[in-house]
Amino acid sequence: MATLRNSSKSINNSGFSANTSAEGGRLVNKDGTINLKKTGMSFLDRMSWYHLLLRLSRVKFLLFVFLFYTVVNTLFAFIYVTIGIEHLKGTDAGGSLANQFQQAFFFSSQTLTTVGYGHISPEGLVANVVASLESFAGIMSFALVTGLFFARFSRPKAYLKFSEHILVAPHKGGTALMCRVASQKNNHLTDAQAQATIAFHVAEEGRRVTKFFQLPLEISSVNSLALSWTIVHLIDEQSPLWGFSEADLQQSDIEVMVGVKAFDDHYSNTVQQRTSYDASELVYGAKFLPAFQRSADGSHTLLELDKLDRYERVKIESNSFNAAVTTAN
């Protein structure tokens, strides 16, 4: 198996530990999040609810808001039933406990949202105090929910789609490591910059360690990310992958982390997104197929996002450290 070349200088500023035995799984998940869980403090101390609610999916966020609304109404309904349903003018106090709770629950929902249809109203000091507190809680909570909705809607996001695989492909008489990225929404990204880092989990002095290497890119920035962008690292004498065969790459415990940062002129802000590829997602001897073409009427360019990961197999013939490339039939 090929070994790391001395000409490839490892980096120590990756933000990750070099102690492989202390790590579990990949360093960066496919969606760009860090594969990390924190302990040593209480759940409330290490949890940022604001960040959690911003990162939740739309469905989970709506379910959370609905659950919060239901729990608060249920709590106040229990309070109204406890102090006596007869203190809510317009209710049927002679019904069953379930019927009384139902009436209290819907009165609570009207009070919490400050709708107030007028059919039921509090009567007496205790009931009015509880209803006043609930109205105050409703104003505060819905202000927070409205703020979260706006923050989720207005939060800058890159909306980048990366290819599912990273390829070792023929390139300029040799080989290169390639992945592809495109903007998947109708936003326009400019001044895009890409970085790639590879992590090798290797044995050194009887223990497993992680070595990180910056992968120089053939083109590290583009003025406009209008079409798809193939990010290319040339595997030459300066590359940490120089001399690795297909078997070496398949047997290596590696992870390639790719990040893209760009300026979104709609948000007037810088956005970024990252992903990672492990050895199982690396395809040796393949090249990407075109992902865009001219429209049928010739009036515009058609970017086909479903073809971003499409590739075809090619044959790479290597002679020592010099790669001669031939296309497979």
Give the pLDDT of residue 117: 76
Q: What domain range is 125 assigned to?
A: 43-154
Residue 3 counted as domain residue: no
Domain match, 186 and 242 both: yes
Domain match, 319 and 239 both: yes
Q: Using the 8-state DSSP alphabet, how is residue 152 labeled?
A: H
Residue 167 counted as domain residue: yes
Give the pLDDT of residue 320: 32
- Report the chain (329 residues): mean pLDDT per 10 consecutive residues: 58 68 74 84 85 91 95 94 87 83 90 81 90 92 92 89 95 93 91 94 74 93 93 93 85 89 90 93 93 89 93 74 35
Domain match, 188 and 313 both: yes
Q: How many CB atoms are located within 10 Å of the residue 151 CB?
A: 12
Measured distance CA(282)–CA(89) in Å, rounded: 70
The DSSP code sequence of 56-89 is S-HHHHHHHHHHHHHHHHHHHHHHHHHH-GGGEE
Domain match, 135 and 175 both: no
Domain match, 174 and 110 both: no
Count of all residues that appear for the chain in the document:
329
Q: Which of 123, 154, 185 is the last residue of a domain?
A: 154
Domain match, 171 and 268 both: yes
Domain match, 29 and 50 both: no
Residue 72 counted as domain residue: yes
> For the chain, what is the domain count?
2
Domain match, 173 and 315 both: yes
Give the pLDDT of residue 328: 33
Cα dist from 45 to 39, 49, 61, 123, 236, whole Å: 10, 10, 21, 41, 48
Q: What is the CATH number of the domain that holds 246?
A: 2.60.40.1400
Q: Which of 154, 180, 196 is the last residue of a domain?
A: 154
Residue 137 counted as domain residue: yes
Residue 315 counted as domain residue: yes
